[in-house]
Chains A and B, each alone.
Chain A
């Protein structure tokens, strides 16, 4: 047993981080916010070229041939960078929907009553429509969908009249958890950095125990979530994945909240990035197995009864 990241995994993680820092820096992030729900197709294509979507496709099918642990590291970095777009749906569609693997096609999928990036999507995958991964034309879905004033400026949302709670694939849930983990780690770092730099009463605010303890709890939440998410990537066990999502949701939302608090008035501004992390964390927490459903899955497993398809 060696739970730590292998050298290859560390290199992969560092590589994605470098790519995103280069190609999706803070300026690009703010531009995306102002662009209000339009997707940077050139970036999408670059992600495709970098293997973001084809990561788990076998090499003979043109993929990278890596597994769920590596995908988790990728999505952790995406969450950290607040990378926009229907990343999970497109990643899942690689090999199924033409062009998805290469980043030429933007794929979305509804989850419950909500669907993200509908106006930008080329394909909608909806397993609740028709048996065996039924597909409906984007136009048809757009006709019955109603736009939502999304809380998150980086996630355009539509509401569907008939909630189609199709089965959410376990790997989608885990990748959402990985994004939450990346966000939690980022807001923890941001809070700690601010606590070191901002001075009040003649000392860095990080020397005040009330602030220090908020930061300590942020790290604890993040590291517990990390252990859960990474282990779930190794076992791919659906119940373990549900538990990982639960803890990662909590870490992302609570760390963003605490980060906001540590920033004081600045934390309440549009200008600071904290709100972007919080709002995205709220969106991810509400989708791909929200807390109550994850708790029910865990509870059912304790009694050895099969989890309901939630």
Chain B
């Protein structure tokens, strides 16, 4: 049980802290959240800055501990989050790094690192959500290309993406998990229609993507044909394992702000509310410690996050909702004013128990894969 960072890790932290302090003041103002092209430009600009300073590959190549330090320091300094580069840096990139050929890694990884290309994730379909393996978007081999027809939904950042990590069915007669293939689809290909969907927060974070005989070169296939499910599991373990580190740090900051706001408004004198805030503080510190635990395990297992991510995600997604519900309790009637801080975050927190595997699905995973309870329907 050692929570101290090594000298080398502390050096990395110090250098990073210094660099963040030097670049953040010169950062342009954050774009309007509704202006997607501006958001893309902003997020890619930040990624480019990281690249030039030598921090671009921290999400994949560096040790999990360095990643932890990076996300911790970035959040503390108020640096931008990955934003539109989320899929490229945290899903598609790591998958290609783990499963792609040398040529594929050379083709797709550098542009993600430089902030030149943005990825989206085309997994979910109208009839394949939690039951992802029932996906039906079809890909038929025609010479050196797959011809893809079908529909994806809830595709975040689809409007501004250059590439889509796409799951398709290449063998309809095989058992469900064995007929799926992972493709890198260029979003400017003929036959793709993107129709934005409005979220309950009013923004258009995700979209429907219609695919009508889209030609995707065979060389864009990651892994073997019909081996896409296994390739996907690599991606999902990344999604659940390390994606939320920065957010936990952010939640702890929000909580401290909330405490100060409560004191200023007098809400702090309410015993129930004050103790609720106190409990949340214990909760988020524990989630931070659990992250350190998971990172230590990942470090020991060679970098691939394990199923401990499901334990974390379950607890964190509910804690985040409780945090913003508590913020609303502090705000009182002001919780109804979307112009006030925290209220939009409260709305977006509602997606946490759904996106990237619902809480029910996470409980199934924990019960069946960690506890070894029998599979059921």
Give the interface of A toward B (CB within 8 A): 1-6, 9, 69, 192, 195-196, 203-204, 206-209, 211-213, 215-217, 219-220, 223-228, 230-231, 233-235, 240, 242-244, 246-247, 292, 294-303
Question: Which of B101-109, B338-346, B369-377 touches A?
Answer: B369-377
Q: How far is the CA of A203 from the CA of B3 in the complex (A)?
A: 44
List residues of chain B with CB within 8 A of the CB of A301: 281
Q: Are A2 and B299 in touch, CB under 8 angstroms?
A: yes
Considering the complex, give the chain A residue whose CB is closest to the CB of B65.
A1
- In the complex, whether B205 has a CB less than 8 A from a CB of chain A is no
List residues of chain A with CB within 8 A of the CB of B3: 1, 3, 231, 234-235
The smallest C-beta distance from B318 to any residue of chain A, in angstroms, reads 9
Considering the complex, give the chain B residue whose CB is closest to the CB of A302.
B259
In the complex, per-residue mask of B296-311: 1 if CB is within 8 Å of any chain A CB, else 0: 1101100000001001
Q: How far is the CA of A267 from the CA of B100 in the complex (A)?
A: 52
Q: Are A228 and B373 in touch, CB under 8 angstroms?
A: no
Q: Can you show 14 pairs from A to B with CB atoms below 8 A apart?
A: A3-B292, A4-B1, A5-B1, A207-B375, A212-B368, A213-B360, A220-B315, A220-B366, A227-B289, A235-B3, A242-B282, A298-B281, A302-B277, A303-B260
9 closest Cβ pairs, A-B complex: A243-B282, A299-B278, A295-B278, A298-B278, A207-B376, A295-B275, A228-B286, A216-B363, A216-B366
Which residue of the partner chain, among B259, B311, B373, B376, contacts A220 with CB atoms under 8 Å?
B311
Considering the complex, give the chain A residue whose CB is closest to the CB of B300.
A4
Q: How far is the CA of A220 from the CA of B313 in the complex (A)?
A: 10
Q: A3-B2, A207-B375 are in contact. Are A298 and B282 (CB under 8 A)?
A: yes
- In the complex, whether B212 has a CB less than 8 A from a CB of chain A is no
Q: Are B374 and A196 in touch, CB under 8 angstroms?
A: yes
Q: Are B281 and A302 in touch, CB under 8 angstroms?
A: yes
Q: A207-B374, A212-B363 are in contact. Are A298 and B368 (CB under 8 A)?
A: no
Q: Are A228 and B282 in touch, CB under 8 angstroms?
A: yes
Q: Are A302 and B278 in touch, CB under 8 angstroms?
A: yes
Q: A227-B286, A233-B1, A298-B282 are in contact. Are A212 and B376 (CB under 8 A)?
A: yes
Q: How far is the CA of A294 from the CA of B286 in the complex (A)?
A: 14
Q: Are B1 and A247 in touch, CB under 8 angstroms?
A: no
Q: Are A213 and B363 in touch, CB under 8 angstroms?
A: yes
The smallest C-beta distance from A106 to any residue of chain B, in angstroms, reads 30
The smallest C-beta distance from B264 to any residue of chain A, in angstroms, reads 11
Q: Are A69 and B1 in touch, CB under 8 angstroms?
A: yes
List residues of chain B with CB within 8 A of the CB of A242: 282
Besides the known contacts A204-B373, A226-B293, 10 further A-B residue pairs in the complex with CB atoms under 8 A apart: A211-B373, A217-B314, A219-B366, A219-B371, A231-B292, A292-B275, A295-B274, A298-B282, A299-B275, A302-B256
